[in-house]
Each structure stands twice: as C-alpha cells, then as structure tokens.
Amino acid sequence: MKVKEKEKKENIPLTCGAVITQPGSTKKYKTGEWRTFIPIIDQEKCIKCGKCWMNCPDGAIFKTPEGKFMINYAYCKGCLICEKVCPVKAISHKVEEK
C-alpha cells in the first residue's frame, strides 16, 4: 500500500491551530502491541497492596469494583516494573505470544 494513498485515506481532521479537543485520546492507540513480555498477576498471592498500580508508568493496572488489581493488556508494555515492586511476588511473566 502506498503511503500516499494511506495519507489520503487517513484524512486527518484538522482543527484550527492543531488543538486536540479530545482529552486522553491516545487511548485509541494500544501500546499492548509493543509488549515482548507479558506480566501475569496471581490473584491468589496478591495482597491488594496496590503497589503495582502505583508504579505502572502506563496506567495499565486497574482496580476492579471487587478490589482486585488487574492488568489492562491493551496498554501494558511489559516493562515488568510491577513484577519487581510486588512485595509478595504475585506477579510473574512470560514471553508474549501474539
């Protein structure tokens, strides 16, 4: 596919002065694609301390209404900081398979 066509297809909407009117719109872009390692939380081991949530640079960990900490794999880049900071080693990792 030619970039030129692609460019035309993309047809980026232009705002005046290149203002972005949609806050937080990078959410459209799934950085989970970048991952080479995938972290996995062992909910059994987890003590719900929230440290993984605190330390994730990508805001890819969230707390469920039930109080569980889970990983949003759409954004998790697999840095494995969460694994390192977990005080009870509830997080482990594997090589990503896509």
Partner 1 sequence: MAILGIDEKEYFASGHRACAGCGEALAIRHILKAAGPKTIIAQATGCMEVVSTPYPESSWEVPWVHCAFENTAAVASGVRAALDAKGDKETNIIAIGGDGASFDIGFGSLSGALERGTRMLYIATDNEAYMNTGIQRSGATFPYANTTTSPAGKVIPGKTQPKKPLPFIAAAHGIKYVATASVMNLMDLHMKVKKALSINGPTMIVVLVPCVPGWKIDSSSTIDVAIKAFETSISPLYEIEEGVLTINQKPSEKKKVEEYLMMQGRFKHLLPEHIKKIQEYVDARWKYLEENNGKKVFDNLF
Partner 2 sequence: MKQVLFLGRGGQGAVTSAQILAIATFKDGKYSQAFPNFGVERMGAPVRSYCRIDEKEITLREQVYEANYAIILDPTLVKQLTEKVTELIIVNSNKKPEELGIVTDAKVKCVDITSIALKVIGKPFVNIAAIGAFSALTGEVSINAIDEAIKQQMGHKGTLVEKNILAIKEVYENAKRE
Partner 3 sequence: MSEKKVISGAEGVAIAVKLCKPKVLPMYPITPSTLVPEKLSEFVFNGEIDSKMIHVESEHSAISALYGAYATGVRSFTATASQGLALMHEILPIVSGSRFPAVMFVANRALSGPLSIWNDHSDSMSERDQGWIQLHCESNQEAFDTIIMAYRIAESKKVLLPVMVCADGFYLTHAYEPIQIEDQEKVDAFLPDYTPEHYLDTTNPKTFGAFAQPNSYMEFKEEEEKAMREAIREIIKVSKEFDKSFGRKYGNGLVEGINLEEAEYAVLGVGSVCGTIREVIKELNEQGKKIGLIKLKSIRPLPVEDLKILCKDLKILGVIDKHASIGFGGALTNDIRSALMGEKVKVEGFVAGLGGRDINKEKIKELINTIMKNKEGYWLK
Q: What number of chain residues touch partner 1 (CB under 8 A)? A: 38
77 contacts 34 by C-beta, under 8 angstroms: yes
Alpha carbon of 69 to those of 4, 5, 17, 34: distances in Å?
44, 43, 40, 22
First to last CA, the chain: 23
Is position 60 an interface residue for partner 1 (rule: CB under 8 A)? yes
Nearest distance from residue 71's CB to partner 2, in Å? 16
Which of 46, 70, 72, 92 is in the footprint of partner 1 by CB under 8 A?
72
Letters for 32-71 (x = contact with partner 2 by CB under 8 A, - = none) are -xxxx-----------------------------------
Pick the binder of partner 2 from 8, 23, 57, 98 (CB under 8 A).
Answer: 98
